[in-house]
Amino acid sequence: MKSVRLEHITKKFGKAKGVEDVDIHIKSGEFFTFLGPSGCGKTTTLRIIAGFYFPTEGKVYFDNEDITGLKPNKRNIGMVFQNYALFPHMTVFENIAFGLQVRKLSSSEIKSKVEKAQKFVHLEGYGNRKITELSGGQQQRVALARALVIEPDILLLDEPLSNLDAKLREETRIEIKRLQVELGITTIYVTHDQHEAMSMSDRIMVMDKGEIQQIGTPQEIYNKPVNHFVASFIGESNIIKADVKNLTDTHVTVDIGGGIILKGLRENGSPMLDYANEDSVLLSIRPEMINTGEGANTLTGIIQLSEFTGVSINYIVKVGDHELNVMIVNARTKVLERGDTITLHVPESGIYFMSEKR
């Protein structure tokens, strides 16, 4: 299994920017996801790795080999696309065997490898079926088998679940993750779905407007978003502009307006943030970090909306000039109603500080 390194990759389409200065090192065996909204540059980056696009600037390495100019069919990669890209008139067996025939393997070798791949994706006995006789989920598993049967160094998956309905998407997601862990194959996954990204990946690269916003583990991205875009794209967050009032080695005290002062841990700040030079910052507070128990940072608010989901009670609470989303996970407590007063606490560790500038 190979590692993938993109060194300062920029891709322009005429004057239009595809991606700019993408610099990443994907480790051997890693499940690495490109996540971001439509048009952020995920597919362009993937196509550069596959060799379908050549970068305008920068270099691509597989391990230590510079493969920037190498043709796609010389890169030993397996690819699965959103629309499967199978040959509809051919059988399951013929589709999976295609890459092996191109490589001129003997028919007995082909037969054994294809059968093994079929077994791997739970399609034993389906060899003679036409693609048109399969469900969407089965077709996607044929595409996966076809990509894996050539024993690629790297597996590239471009929104492979988006044509499947919700239940099948869930099953196939788990299936892909299982295969990846069993094979230990370096996998690069493109999606705009944060749940997919969070649940499958070792690390995620969040992109916006052709640029990297943040690279990290799902926990890092969720708990320590570097900016407004990441905090709001991944999960729900209360994002509040605040003035820094006091700064010590350990704590940051901020004023969020309406006479409300909050105190948080200085270590909960993105590294590029130098509070001393910044009079205002953005706070990110996750709804589930706010509680009704005891603790620091007491806030009093009025319920605007309440919702019981079974797992949690969700409130929108007016606190000073702000409307906060609050998620009470202990759903056995009494559900308050619109107009009721509620006392909330935000633990110091539940406030994350972001720079306004980035």
Residues that bind ligand ATP in the complex, under the rule CB under 6 A: 13, 16, 18, 36, 38-44, 192, 210
Residue indicated by tokens 């993408």: 22
Q: Give how far Cα 296 sits from Cα of 270, 290, 292, 317, 346, Å.
A: 22, 11, 11, 18, 6
Q: Would you say 77 or 289 has its CB closer to ligand ATP? A: 77
Minimum CB–partner distance for residue 14 and ligand ATP (Å): 7
Q: Would you say 16 or 276 has its CB closer to ligand ATP? A: 16
Minimum CB–partner distance for residue 32 and ligand ATP (Å): 15
Do 68 and 54 contact (CB within 8 A), yes or no? yes
Q: Would you say 47 or 146 has its CB closer to ligand ATP? A: 47
Q: Would you say 18 or 301 has its CB closer to ligand ATP? A: 18
Q: Would you say 192 or 241 has its CB closer to ligand ATP? A: 192
Do 29 and 73 contact (CB within 8 A), yes or no? no
DSSP 9-76: EEEEETTEEEEEEEEEEEPTT-EEEEE-STTSSHHHHHHHHHTSS--SEEEEEETTEE-TT--GGGS-
According to DSSP, residue 354 is labeled E
Q: 52, 88, 94: which is closest to 73 by C-alpha?
A: 52
Q: Would you say 38 or 108 has its CB closer to ligand ATP? A: 38
Minimum CB–partner distance for residue 49 and ligand ATP (Å): 12
The two three-digit tokens of residue 349, written as one number = 């560790």
Q: Would you say 138 or 191 has its CB closer to ligand ATP? A: 191
Minimum CB–partner distance for residue 26 and ligand ATP (Å): 17
Minimum CB–partner distance for residue 53 and ligand ATP (Å): 8
Do 186 and 29 contact (CB within 8 A), yes or no? yes
Q: Would you say 192 or 263 has its CB closer to ligand ATP? A: 192
What is the residue type of 83?
Answer: N
Minimum CB–partner distance for residue 47 and ligand ATP (Å): 8
Distance CA 160, CA 177 (A): 12
Do 308 and 342 contact (CB within 8 A), yes or no? no
Minimum CB–partner distance for residue 12 and ligand ATP (Å): 9
Minimum CB–partner distance for residue 82 and ligand ATP (Å): 9
Q: Give how far Cα 1 sits from Cα of 81, 134, 144, Å.
A: 21, 31, 17
Q: Would you say 5 or 11 has its CB closer to ligand ATP? A: 11
Cβ neighbours of 245 (radius 10 Å): 13
According to DSSP, residue 334 is labeled P
Cβ neighbours of 162 (radius 10 Å): 13
Distance CA 61, CA 7 (A): 8
Minimum CB–partner distance for residue 36 and ligand ATP (Å): 6
Q: Give how far Cα 283 sits from Cα of 254, 255, 288, Å.
A: 9, 11, 15
